[in-house]
Amino acid sequence: MDVFSYFNYWVVVVLMMLGFFIVIARGNLVKKLIGLNIFQTSVFILYISAGKVMGGAAPILADGVELYSNPLPHVLILTAIVVGIATTSVGLALVVRIHAAYGTVEEADILEQDATC
């Protein structure tokens, strides 16, 4: 078994966990969204790595090319990136509203304010 054959997947796991860590360990809501972004990108990397065929070319049909990488993950991730930015912006809009309502975007402060009233 070749160690490097799993390298991409391990990087995906590490990135995913780093993003996850930011989401649960940091109190700042904007930072949480950044962590979520990293998490999301790690999933993209997983899909794109799964679609790669060694020695394959980009999936644009051309004469004389026999082996292509898998186009299906590309399609899924292509749309997922744009959907991702759209949903991230919804999250950011909610952060802005939370800031307007509570005057802070720190999780601890928000919970404290919720507890007092």
Partner 1 sequence: MLCLLVATAIALIAVRGLLASIMLTSVYGLLSASFFVTMDAVDVAFTEAAVGAGVSPLLLLLTVAIVGRREAASNARRLVVPLLLVTVTGALLIIGTLDMPSFGSPDAPAQTHVAPRYLQQSGDEIGIPNVVTSVLASYRAYDTLGEVLVIFTAGVAVLLALAPAGQGGSARAEPPAPEHLAPHTILQVVSKLLIPFMLLFAFYVQFHGEYGPGGGFQAGVIFASGIILYGLLYGLPTVCRVIPPPVVEVLAAVGALIYGLTGVLSLLAGKNFLDYSALAADPVTGQHIGIIAIELGVGIAVAAVIITIYYAFAGRLHTRED
Residues numbered 31 to 90 that lie near partner 1 (CB under 8 A) are: 31, 33-35, 37-38, 41, 44-45, 48-54, 56-62, 67-90
Q: Which amino acid is at 5?
A: S
The reply on whether position 115 binds partner 1 by CB under 8 A is no
Of residues 93-112, those binding partner 1 (CB under 8 A): 93-97, 99, 105-106, 108-109
- Binding partner 1 (rule: CB under 8 A), the pick from 2, 64, 116, 117 is 2
Residue 57: strand pairing partners: 68
In the structure encoding, which two tokens stand for residue 39, read together?
A: 């998490």
Closest by CA to 33, choosing from 102, 72, 91, 86, is 91
Burial of 83 by CB count in 10 Å (0-12 exposed, 13-18 middle, 19+ buried)?
Answer: exposed
Rank residues 3 and 117 by Cβ distance to partner 1 and give the closer one. 3
The reply on whether position 28 binds partner 1 by CB under 8 A is yes
